[in-house]
Each structure stands twice: as structure tokens, then as C-alpha cells.
């Protein structure tokens, strides 16, 4: 028993010394190729065995013949271990380099294509993560391009819409200043109208900037949809009468919702004005409010615009979108529907549109009020 304990102690001391030396060597080569680290690990295992054997032999527990046999066996094991470690290391390094080259492609703006050669479970997991990251980057680049296009269109349209009333205001003010205005009161009324139009446009821009910045303040209040829709219909009725459009709100259920009344009134107002302006005279704009699936509340505005081209449907709520020239309203900068979507999403809802026979239907889905 005592001899066995001494053999174990001498073997542990020899192996421990080798392990410490191996750890120091691994620290030195930690920034080098994985092949070098794997070779060190394989060498430590074999040399530790050899060191333990030599320590036991030094204590005269082994005969010279037995020591020679054990040393020869350990040497052959060392050769095989080092060769295996080098082959494995070179294979892993090669797969890592292939993965690096593939990752460089989507870093330069392309798509990530995983190497076809088999790899370890860790490298395969990394490859899947890189593929998912590449897809997210592609979506981000696409959104960025869409936002940049929308921004350029918005700047162009805003510049055009501002230039026209400003030119009229300058002309009318010069006429009043020079005393050549035939009807000064009419000029003053027109100036007031144009100023209000510009004020509304600036207000829309400010509202949209707060929505995009995520700083839109919301004061939630429990309110009935019946009251909310009734106020919106009353506000849009003068425009509907002027354009000869009939407003219908017979399918409005008195469902409770928790919303910001001011902002949600703006949503309904924008949808109603948009629908009225695009519905021909003697047409009908219908408003409905009903319970949807999952307890949600669905507000809808249906018009008689004749429908929206299918290719334009995904862009309806984009900033500055106005569609074809025939559908361009006489005023505004194409911000109304973008504001609608922003306000609805700030309420954790969603805004959608789809064509129906003879027109289109805008829907606003809001979460149900808490019981």
C-alpha cells in the first residue's frame, strides 16, 4: 500500500510539473493558430505520462528494461497524438478561414453564404448565427433605402407644396402694399386661408417628427368608440357637404377603448378627410366600429375611390406617399396616412388597407380596453 502511494505521489509531481509548463506555453501561444494550441495540449498529455514514469524510475521503482519499454511506448503515443492534433487543428483552422471569408462577404454589403464543407458543432452554430445576422442586415439595408427614398420624395413634395402658397402670398402682399388690389378683403381672406394651410402642413411635419423620434406624448383615457366616431363625423361633415359626399356611421358599436382621445381623433379625421377627397360626388364614405378577433377593436373607413393599384398598397402609409397624379389631393403633403400609422402603432395597434369593390377600406385595430 505504501509503495502504491509513493508511486502515485511521484507520478503526480512529474505530471503536475509538465502541466504547469504546458499552461505557461499555452499562454504564450494563445494568440497563434489553433493548431499550435492543440499540439501543445496533445504534447502535455504525453509528456506528463513520460514525466511521471521517469519520476517513478528515478525513485528506482522501475528496472532499466521496463523503463525503456515504457519510454518507447510513450514516444510512439506522442508521435501519434501530435500527428492527430496537427491534422485536427489544420482542419478546424481551414473551416474557420472559410467561415471568415464567407462572413467578409456580408460585411461588404453582400449576403452570407455558409461554407458547404462540414464543420464542428460550434462552427456550424456560428454559421447559423451569421446567416441570421446577414438576413437582419439585409432587411435593415432595405428599410434604410426605403426610408431614404421616402425622405427624398418628402423633401421634393414639401418644397413644391410650400413654394406654391408662398408665391401666392408674396404676390397678394405686394398687390396690397402697392394698392393695386381690386378687392383687399378678398385678398386678406385668401392670405388667411393660405397661412392656415401652411400652419397645418408645419403641424403635420412636427407631429411626424415626434412619431419617428418616439417622443409622441399619449394621455390614455377610457372612452367609448361611439363618442369618438361621432365627434370625428361631426368634424368631417362640412367637407363632405362641400364635396357632395355622404357620410354614414350606422355600424358603430359603443365599445370602450383606452386611447389618447386627441391623437385618435386625429387618426379618424385624417382617414375621413382622405376618404372624402378621393370619393367622387354623390359617393359614400362609411365608418364602422366593431369587435374583432381576440377581443380587439376594429375601426374602419370605407370609401368609393375606385381602389388602389395593388403595387401601391404596401406604400400607402409611407411618409410622403400620394399615389398616382389622379389621386393627388389638392392640398397636403402626403403626411396624413403616415401620421395615422405612427399614432396607431404608438397605441400598440396596427393600420391596414385593402381594396373592396368600388373603393378601399382602411382598418385600425386597437387593443381592447382592460376590464
The tens digit of pLDDT for each residue in 257-308 reads 899 998 999 899 999 998 998 899 889 999 998 888 777 899 999 999 888 8
What does the pLDDT read at residue 363? Answer: 93
Q: What percent of the chain has pLDDT over 70?
A: 82
Contact 272, 287 (CB under 8 A): yes
Q: Which residue has the cell 426605403?
A: 146
- The rounded distance, in Å, linking the Cα atoms of 293 and 300 is 14
Angle at 282 between CA 280 and CA 285, to 5 degrees: 75
- Positions in the chain whose pLDDT score sits under 70: 1-4, 6-7, 10, 14, 30-31, 33-35, 56-63, 67, 105-110, 114, 116-120, 320-334, 371
The tens digit of pLDDT for each residue in 175-186 reads 888 887 778 888
What does the pLDDT read at residue 39? Answer: 74
Strands 221-224 and 256-259: antiparallel
Q: Read off the C-alpha cell for 259.
A: 386611447
What does the pLDDT read at residue 132? Answer: 79
The tens digit of pLDDT for each residue in 93-125 reads 777 777 777 777 665 666 777 676 666 677 777
Angle at 14 between CA 11 and CA 15, to 5 degrees: 85
Contact 126, 99 (CB under 8 A): yes
Give the Å distances, CA to CA, from 342 to 213, 291, 365: 11, 22, 13
For 53, the enclosing helix (H) or strand (E) is helix 34-58
Environment class of 356 (CB within 10 Å of its CB; exposed 0-12, middle 13-18, buried 19+): exposed
Number of helical (H) and strand (E) elements in the chain, helices listed first: 8, 7
What does the pLDDT read at residue 125? Answer: 78
What does the pLDDT read at residue 361? Answer: 93
Amino acid at each position: 500500500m505504501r509503495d502504491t502511494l509513493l508511486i502515485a505521489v511521484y507520478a503526480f509531481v512529474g505530471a503536475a510539473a509538465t502541466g504547469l509548463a504546458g499552461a505557461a506555453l499555452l499562454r504564450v501561444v494563445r494568440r497563434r493558430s489553433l493548431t499550435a494550441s492543440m499540439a501543445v495540449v496533445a504534447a502535455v498529455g504525453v509528456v506528463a505520462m513520460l514525466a511521471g514514469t521517469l519520476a517513478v524510475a528515478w525513485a528506482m521503482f522501475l528496472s532499466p528494461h521496463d523503463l525503456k519499454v515504457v519510454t518507447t511506448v510513450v514516444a510512439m503515443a506522442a508521435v501519434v497524438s501530435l500527428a492527430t492534433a496537427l491534422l485536427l487543428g489544420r482542419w478546424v483552422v481551414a473551416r474557420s478561414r472559410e467561415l471568415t471569408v464567407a462572413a467578409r462577404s456580408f460585411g461588404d454589403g453582400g449576403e452570407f453564404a455558409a461554407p458547404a464543407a462540414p464543420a464542428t458543432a460550434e462552427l456550424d452554430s456560428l454559421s447559423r448565427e451569421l446567416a441570421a445576422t446577414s438576413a437582419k442586415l439585409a432587411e435593415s439595408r432595405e428599410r434604410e433605402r426605403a426610408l431614404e427614398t421616402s425622405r427624398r420624395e418628402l423633401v421634393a413634395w414639401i418644397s413644391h407644396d410650400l413654394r406654391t402658397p408662398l408665391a401666392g402670398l408674396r404676390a397678394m402682399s405686394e398687390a396690397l402694399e402697392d394698392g393695386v388690389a381690386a378687392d383687399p378683403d378678398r385678398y386678406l381672406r385668401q392670405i388667411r386661408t393660405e397661412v392656415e394651410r401652411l400652419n397645418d402642413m408645419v403641424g403635420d411635419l412636427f407631429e411626424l417628427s415626434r412619431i419617428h423620434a418616439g417622443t409622441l406624448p399619449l394621455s390614455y383615457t377610457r372612452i367609448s368608440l361611439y363618442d369618438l366616431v361621432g365627434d370625428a363625423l361631426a368634424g368631417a361633415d362640412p367637407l363632405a357637404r362641400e364635396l357632395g359626399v355622404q357620410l354614414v356611421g350606422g355600424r358603430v358599436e359603443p365599445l370602450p377603448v383606452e386611447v389618447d382621445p386627441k391623437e385618435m381623433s386625429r387618426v379618424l379625421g385624417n382617414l375621413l378627410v382622405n376618404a372624402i377627397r378621393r370619393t367622387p360626388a354623390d359617393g359614400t364614405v362609411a365608418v364602422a366600429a366593431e369587435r374583432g378577433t381576440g377581443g380587439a377593436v376594429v375601426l374602419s373607413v370605407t370609401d368609393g375611390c375606385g381602389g388602389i393599384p395593388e403595387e401601391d398598397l404596401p406604400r400607402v402609409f409611407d411618409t410622403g406617399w400620394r399615389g398616382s397624379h389622379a389621386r393627388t389631393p389638392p392640398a397636403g403633403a402626403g403626411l396624413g396616412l403616415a401620421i395615422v400609422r405612427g399614432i396607431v402603432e404608438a397605441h400598440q395597434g396596427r393600420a391596414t388597407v385593402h381594396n373592396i369593390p368600388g373603393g378601399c377600406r382602411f382598418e385600425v385595430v386597437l387593443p381592447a380596453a382592460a376590464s
